[in-house]
Amino acid sequence: MDSRVLEAYDLVVNRIVVKVSILAVEQEAVPLYTITVTNISETTKIILEKIREEFISGAAQDLEDFDEDISRIQEQFKARILVLLKKYFPTADEKTQDMLINYMIQQNIGLGNLEILLKDPNLEEIVVNNSHESVWIYHRKRGWCKTNIRLPDEPRIRHYSTIIGRDVGKEITTLTPLMDAHLRTGDRINATLSPISSKGNTITIRKFAVKPWTMTDFLKDGVLSYEAAALLWVAVQHELSFIIAGGTGSGKTSMLNVISTFLPPNQRIISIEDTREVVLPEILHWVPMETRLANPEGKGGITMLDLIVNSLRMRPDRIIVGEIRRREEAEVLFEAMRTGHSVYATLHANNAHEVVNRLTTRPIDIPKEVLSALSLAVVQNINRKTGRRRTLQIAEILPSGEPRIIMQLNPLRGQMEYIAEPLHVFGTISLYTGLSKEEIIQDLRSKVKVLQWMVEKNINDVNKIGLIMSRYYQNKPFQHIL
């Protein structure tokens, strides 16, 4: 089989060294993502399998009781398996024993090779469709890839779903074959059981980004241009509200995270999400809040609307909202804009005109004249063939509620271009600051230089960027923050 290596790197998972190779294979329509455990030989794996069989046939039947606490089961497993390891590997030192125990726990009590995938920071999504197909992953650079991992049977997939659910107080059964859960790590899990999913049991894991995207990352990857980034920075600095729109997986939340690093440190920020995905610089005055599902009796649920209404009693200067879905949420947010709060939210819409249509038709259905409180719509797009995310449009919202496109991606040239001058945005900034159009344009140019410097120095740590923004707003030198 003809193949070439697109990318290769190592992971260390509980002292287990794993080599990751991403291959372009002639017979495959998508890249092949392969993992190989390099510090455990095939002979050692055979012996470990023999240890596992001896362990199961001996005193480990109680470990099959899923009602026990998982950490307690792991401690029992460690103690009993150590005896067998010393029998088969009498010369192994403590470090090697720990590594082999971790491998045994991962393969027998944990999530097997899925745990390796969960530790790869380059992955955004991990998908098990059934036991007959390879596990799929969504790689930050390579898009959808097949893996060389396949779960042995349908009961194993169900077992993994059960482990995940019990860890967060959820259950998945024949009577409740759908499970949606958020792990303590921030990862979002969805699982389904056959015959609801007709090909077999499924698990879909959307990973929480340990290192959030920054504007430096976006500029280096060509997600948007320096001029577009400077325009968004000016809008955030001068407290203009805007919506970030796009399709599923287009990078809406990533853009929300990116523009949030432009927030000044002397204002109070409240973020409201279903699952914590926004990560702001540590120096900011930030209160993150999350919704909560009701318990099985239908009690204790905290909705997005509950949190939005409550946030207005917390004296916020800026409000960040994960996603607008319903009329009540939109009404409260637009009222917040009209009473002097800056609001940043995401919305499912594919272009600037669709943003207005989504907001003014059911299920959101707010009056068009209310939209004048909104200043900008930023539209993200993902190319499903290549997996590449780009900013498609930046539009200002006119007093009539209509969008006016300022910048738009030229797909042939692969870069954003000015379509029209941001007259309404400039007019709003001028009204509240007294700056002339020429002064605003000069400010944009100076911000472009700062962004170019950040990219040149490869400053992509969210906290360092937060410090740079703080110094910038105080008119102090920031070049020493490295």
β partners of residue 288: 271
Predicted confidence (pLDDT) at residue 69 exceeds the cutoff of 60: no
pLDDT at residue number 277: 85
Q: Residue 327: which residues within 8 A CB-CB, separation 6 or more?
A: 363, 364, 365, 366
Q: Above pLDDT 70, what percent of the chain?
A: 94
Buried b (16+ CB within 10 A) or exposed e, 337-358: beeebbbbbbbbbbbbbbbbeb
Query: Using 50, 70 and 90 to split pLDDT, how confident is the model at 298?
Result: confident
What percent of the chain lies above the pLDDT cut of 90? 66
Chain mean position to CA 64: 34
Return the residue matching tokens 């499970």: 179
**Does the pLDDT at position 370 exceed 60?**
yes
Tell me the mean pLDDT in the region 325-336.
Answer: 94
**Does 105 or 409 have the greater pLDDT score?**
409
109-113, 252-256, 387-391: least confident range: 109-113
Segment 120-135 mean pLDDT: 95
- Note the pLDDT of residue 365: 95
Do 161 and 150 form a contact (C-beta atoms < 8 A)? no
- Answer whether 342's CB lies under 8 Å from 316's CB: no
Per-residue pLDDT at 66: 42
Q: 3-state SS of 238-306?
A: CCCCEEEEECCCCCHHHHHHHHHCCCCCCCEEEEEECCCCCCCCCCCEEEEEECECCCCCCCCCECHHH
Confidence of residue 11 (pLDDT cuts 50, 70, 90): very high
CATH number of the 3-206 domain: 3.30.450.380
- Evaluate whether 166 touches 175 at the Cβ level (below 8 Å): no
Among 291, 289, 284, residue whose Cα is nearest residue 259? 284
Flag whether pLDDT at 19 surpasses 80: yes
pLDDT value at residue 60: 44
User: Residue range 447-461: average pLDDT?
Assistant: 95
Residues contacting 83, CB < 8 A, separation 6+: none
| Per-residue model confidence (pLDDT) at position 260 | 95
Q: Is the pLDDT of residue 67 over 50?
A: no
Neighbour-count burial for 31-58, b at 16+ CB within 10 Å, e otherwise: bbbbbebeebeeebeeebeebbeebeee
pLDDT tens for 415-429 read 899 999 999 999 999
Residue-wise pLDDT tens digits, 228-278:
999 999 999 999 999 999 998 899 999 999 999 999 999 999 999 987 889
Spans of all domains in the chain: 3-206, 215-473
Tell me the average pLDDT across 24-44.
Answer: 89
Q: How confident is the model at residue 317 (pLDDT cuts 50, 70, 90)?
A: very high
Both tokens of 235, joined, read 């809008």
- CATH 3.90.226.30 matches 215-473: no
pLDDT tens string 169-193: 788 999 999 998 877 777 889 999 9
Asked if the model's pLDDT at residue 323 lies above 60, the reply is yes
Dihedral pair phi/psi, residue 345, rounded to 5°? -145, 165
Q: How high is the mean pLDDT of the chain?
A: 89
37-41, 82-86, 182-186, 198-202: range with highest mean pLDDT: 198-202
Q: What local confidence, expressed as pLDDT, does residue 104 receive?
A: 82
Sign of the C-alpha dihedral computed for residues 423, 428, 431 and 437 taken in this order = negative
Distance CA 234, CA 281 (A): 18
Taking only the tens place, the pLDDT of each residue in 205-225 is 998 877 788 999 999 999 999
Given pLDDT bands bounded at 50, 70 and 90, which one contains residue 78? Answer: confident
Q: At what angle do helices 70-88 and 42-57 cross, to 10 degrees?
A: 120
Instruction: Grade residue 63 by pLDDT with cuts at 50, 70 and 90.
Output: very low
Give the span between the Cα atoms of 284 and 286, in whole angstroms: 6
pLDDT score, position 57:
64
- pLDDT value of residue 380: 98
What the block records as the tokens of 21 is: 């190779």
Output 407 or 277, whichever has higher pLDDT.
407
